[in-house]
Structure 1
C-alpha cells in the first residue's frame, strides 16, 4: 500500500523544520580566542564628511584648539546578562569627538563576535546623534542597552 500523500507532506515539512532549527541552534566553531580590541572612533573631524556646519574654525587641522577644552569622561560600568559594558567619551567643548567601549562582554567567542560588529555601529551612532538617543543594534540588544546606559551616565557627568 502507498503512504497517504498528505502524511508524506506533513512529515517532510516537520523534518525540514527540525533540521533548520537544529542547524540554527548549533554554535559556530571558535574562530579566534583573542578579545576584540577596544574600538575608538576617529578623533576630531578627520574622517568627517561634514558633521554639522558648526561655527567655522575647525576646517583644517585643529592644532590651536584654545577655544574649546578637550576632556575625557568615563561612564558607569553597566552589568548586562553577558558581562560589563562601559563607555568613554572624548569631548571638545560640548561636542563628542570620540567614543570608546572600555569594557564589553567578552567571556564567550560569540559575545566577542557580536560586539566586534555592534560596538563600531554604536560608536558611529553616538558621534552622529551627539547624545544617548541612539538605536540598539539588532542581535546585540544587551550590549546596546548597556552601552546606552553607560553613555548616558558619561553625558550626565558633562552637565549636558
Structure 2
C-alpha cells in the first residue's frame, strides 16, 4: 500500500512538472510565413539596383546554401543556386526538388516572403536567408 501511494504521488508530481513547462518558440526555419497582403519590397528603398548580387553562404545541418540574385531595375529576374546541400543522395535529391520550386516562387512573388518547401525546411530557410543577404547587399 505504501509503494502505491509513493507511485501515485510521483506520477502526479511528474504530470504537474510536465504541464508547467512552457512550449518553445518555433525555430526560424519552421516559423509561419508573414500574412498575405502587399509583400514588402524585395530590396531597400533607393535607386533601383541592376546587376547580380551574391548572398552569404548559409550553413544548414545538411550543408551550405548560397544563391546569387539578378536584378533589373530592382526587379528579381533570376536566382541561381551556387551551393546546395549535398554529400549524400537524399540531401542532393531534396535540394534538386526544392531549389527550382523556391526560385519559381521568389520570381512570382518578387520577394523572399514565400513558403518553405515541405520536407526541405532547412534548405528552404538557407536559400531564403542567402537570398535576403544578396538583396540587402543590392539595396545598399
| Inter-partner Cα distance in structure 1 for 2:125 and 2:49 | 29
Gaps of 5+ in 1: 1-67
Give me the CA root mean square deviation.
Answer: 1.5
**Larger relative CO (CA 8 A, sep 6+): 1 or 2?**
2
| Inter-partner Cα distance in structure 1 for 2:95 and 2:77 | 21
The structure with the greater share of residues assigned to helix is: 2
- State the match for 2:94 in structure 1: 114
1:139 is aligned to 2:129: no
| Inter-partner Cα distance in structure 1 for 2:94 and 2:77 | 25
Query: Displaced runs of 4+ in structure 1, greater than 6 A?
Result: none
1:78 is aligned to 2:58: yes
Gaps of 5+ in 2: 1-47
Which one has a bigger Cα radius of gyration? 1
SS of the counterpart of 2:78? strand
Figure out how many residues of one structure are paired with residues of the other and give that number.
93
- State the match for 1:100 in structure 2: 80
- State the match for 2:128 in structure 1: 148
- Give the structure-2-normalised TM-score: 0.63
| Inter-partner Cα distance in structure 2 for 1:103 and 1:140 | 15
